[in-house]
Chains A and B, each alone.
Chain A
Amino acid sequence: MPGFLLRRIALLIPSLIGITLLVFALLHLIPGDPVEALSGERGMAPERRAQLMLRFGLDQPLPAQYLRYVGHAVQGDLGNSIATGEPVLREFADRFPATLELSAAAMLFALLVGIPAGVLAALRRNTPMDYGVMGVSLAGYSMPIFWWGLLLILFFSVHLGWTPVSGRIAIEFDPPRVTGLMLVDAWLSGEAGAFRSALSHLVLPAIVLGTIPLAVLARMTRSAMLEVLGEDFIRAARARGLAPWRVVLRHALRNALIPVLTVVGLQIGALLGGAVLTENLFSWPGVGKWLVEAIHRRDYPVVQGGILLCAVLVIATTFVVDLLYGYVNPRIRHAR
Chain B
Amino acid sequence: MSLLEVRNLTVQFGPRERPVIAVEGLDLELDAGEVLGLVGESGSGKSVASLALMGLLAPQARVSADVMRYDGRDLQALSARERRALLGREIAMVFQDPHASLDPCFSVGDQLMETLAAHHGGPRAKLREQALDLLRQVEIPDPEARLKAYPHQLSGGMSQRVGIALAIAGNARLLIADEPTTALDVTVQAQIVALLLRLQRERGMGLILISHDLALVSQLAHRVLVLYAGQEMEQGPVPALFEAPRHPYTEALLRALPEHNRGAARLQALPGNVPAADARPAACLFSPRCPHAQARCHAERPALEGPGDARVRCFFPLADAQRHPLGAPA
A residues near B (Cβ < 8 Å) are: 231-233, 235-244, 246, 250-251, 254-255, 258, 330-331, 334
- Asked if B87 contacts A239 (CB within 8 A), the reply is yes
Q: Max chain B CB contacts within 10 Å: which of A233, A243, A250, A251?
A: A233
7 A/B residue pairs, CB under 8 Å, sorted by A: A239-B95, A240-B87, A240-B88, A241-B87, A241-B115, A250-B114, A251-B105
The yes or no answer to B152 lying at the interface (CB within 8 A) is: yes
Residue of A nearest to B152 (CB): A331
Residue of B nearest to A335 (CB): B152
Q: Which B residues lie within 8 Å of A254 (CB)? A: 103, 105-106
Asked if A232 meets B95 with Cβ closer than 8 Å, knowing A240-B87, A241-B87, the reply is yes
A258 CA / B106 CA spacing, docked (Å): 13
Q: Max chain B CB contacts within 10 Å: which of A235, A241, A330?
A: A241
- Asked if B92 contacts A233 (CB within 8 A), the reply is no
Q: How far is the CB of A18 from chain B (nearest CB, A)?
A: 35
Q: How far is the CB of A244 from chain B (nearest CB, A)?
A: 8
Q: How far is the CB of A187 from chain B (nearest CB, A)?
A: 37
- In the A-B complex, the 5 residue pairs with the smallest Cβ-Cβ separation, listed nearest first, are A241-B88, A232-B100, A236-B101, A241-B87, A240-B88
Q: How far is the CB of B78 from chain A (nearest CB, A)?
A: 14
Q: Which A residues lie within 8 Å of B95 (CB)? A: 232, 235-236, 239
The yes or no answer to B56 lying at the interface (CB within 8 A) is: yes
Q: Which B residues lie within 8 Å of A242 (CB)? A: 88, 114-115, 118
User: Which residue of B85, B106, B118 is within 8 Å of A240 (Cβ)?
Assistant: B118
User: Which residue of B84, B101, B104, B106 is within 8 Å of A241 (Cβ)?
Assistant: B84
User: Which residue of A233, A239, A330, A331 is within 8 Å of B88 (Cβ)?
Assistant: A239
Q: How far is the CB of B123 from chain A (nearest CB, A)?
A: 19
Q: How far is the CB of B182 from chain A (nearest CB, A)?
A: 14
A105 CA / B204 CA spacing, docked (Å): 59
- Asked if B54 contacts A239 (CB within 8 A), the reply is yes
The yes or no answer to B102 lying at the interface (CB within 8 A) is: yes
Q: Which A residues lie within 8 Å of B56 (CB)? A: 235, 238-239
Q: Which A residues lie within 8 Å of B105 (CB)? A: 251, 254-255, 258, 330
The yes or no answer to B9 lying at the interface (CB within 8 A) is: no
Say what secondary structure dominates the interface of chain A. Answer: helix
Q: How far is the CB of A228 from chain B (nearest CB, A)?
A: 10
Residue-wise interface mask of B (142-157) relative to A, using a CB-CB cutoff of 8 A (1 in contact, 0 not): 0000000010110000
- Asked if B104 contacts A240 (CB within 8 A), the reply is no
Q: Which A residues lie within 8 Å of B54 (CB)? A: 239
Q: Which A residues lie within 8 Å of B167 (CB)? A: 239-240
Q: How far is the CB of A127 from chain B (nearest CB, A)?
A: 12
Residue of B nearest to A244 (CB): B84
User: Which residue of A240, A246, A251 is within 8 Å of B92 (Cβ)?
Assistant: A240
User: Which residue of A236, A241, A255 is within 8 Å of B118 (Cβ)?
Assistant: A241
The yes or no answer to B166 lying at the interface (CB within 8 A) is: yes
A145 CA / B102 CA spacing, docked (Å): 43
- Asked if A233 contacts B103 (CB within 8 A), the reply is yes
Q: Which B residues lie within 8 Å of A241 (CB)? A: 84-89, 115, 118-119, 170
- Asked if B166 contacts A240 (CB within 8 A), the reply is yes
Asked if A237 meets B89 with Cβ closer than 8 Å, knowing A242-B115, A243-B118, A330-B152, the reply is no
Residue-wise interface mask of B (87-114) relative to A, using a CB-CB cutoff of 8 A (1 in contact, 0 not): 1110011010100111111100000001
Asked if A240 meets B102 with Cβ closer than 8 Å, knowing A334-B150, A334-B152, A334-B153, the reply is no
Asked if A237 meets B119 with Cβ closer than 8 Å, knowing A232-B97, A330-B152, the reply is no
Q: Which B residues lie within 8 Å of A251 (CB)? A: 103, 105-106
Q: Which A residues lie within 8 Å of B86 (CB)? A: 241
- Asked if B103 contacts A240 (CB within 8 A), the reply is no
A130 CA / B153 CA spacing, docked (Å): 37
- Asked if A231 contacts B100 (CB within 8 A), the reply is yes
Residue of B nearest to A235 (CB): B56
Residue of A nearest to B166 (CB): A240
Residue of B nearest to A251 (CB): B103
The yes or no answer to B169 lying at the interface (CB within 8 A) is: yes
A246 CA / B88 CA spacing, docked (Å): 15
A238-B87, A241-B89 known; 20 new pairs, CB 8 Å cut-off, are A231-B100, A233-B100, A236-B95, A237-B103, A238-B56, A238-B84, A239-B56, A239-B88, A239-B95, A240-B88, A240-B92, A240-B118, A240-B166, A241-B85, A242-B88, A242-B118, A254-B105, A330-B105, A330-B150, A334-B150
Asked if A240 meets B152 with Cβ closer than 8 Å, knowing A232-B97, A235-B56, A255-B104, the reply is no
Q: How far is the CB of B323 from chain A (nearest CB, A)?
A: 40
Q: How far is the CB of A331 from chain B (nearest CB, A)?
A: 5
Q: How far is the CB of A229 from chain B (nearest CB, A)?
A: 10
Q: How far is the CB of A125 from chain B (nearest CB, A)?
A: 10
Residue-wise interface mask of B (45-86) relative to A, using a CB-CB cutoff of 8 A (1 in contact, 0 not): 000000000101000000000000000000000000000111
Residue of B nearest to A333 (CB): B150
Residue of B nearest to A238 (CB): B56
The yes or no answer to B163 lying at the interface (CB within 8 A) is: yes
Residue-wise interface mask of B (230-267) relative to A, using a CB-CB cutoff of 8 A (1 in contact, 0 not): 00000000000000000000000000000000000000
Residue of B nearest to A236 (CB): B101
Q: Which B residues lie within 8 Å of A258 (CB)? A: 105
A241 CA / B114 CA spacing, docked (Å): 11
Q: Which B residues lie within 8 Å of A233 (CB)? A: 100-104
A254 CA / B104 CA spacing, docked (Å): 10
- Asked if A236 contacts B102 (CB within 8 A), the reply is yes
A239 CA / B163 CA spacing, docked (Å): 11
A235 CA / B119 CA spacing, docked (Å): 17
Asked if A255 meets B87 with Cβ closer than 8 Å, knowing A240-B115, A330-B150, A334-B153, the reply is no
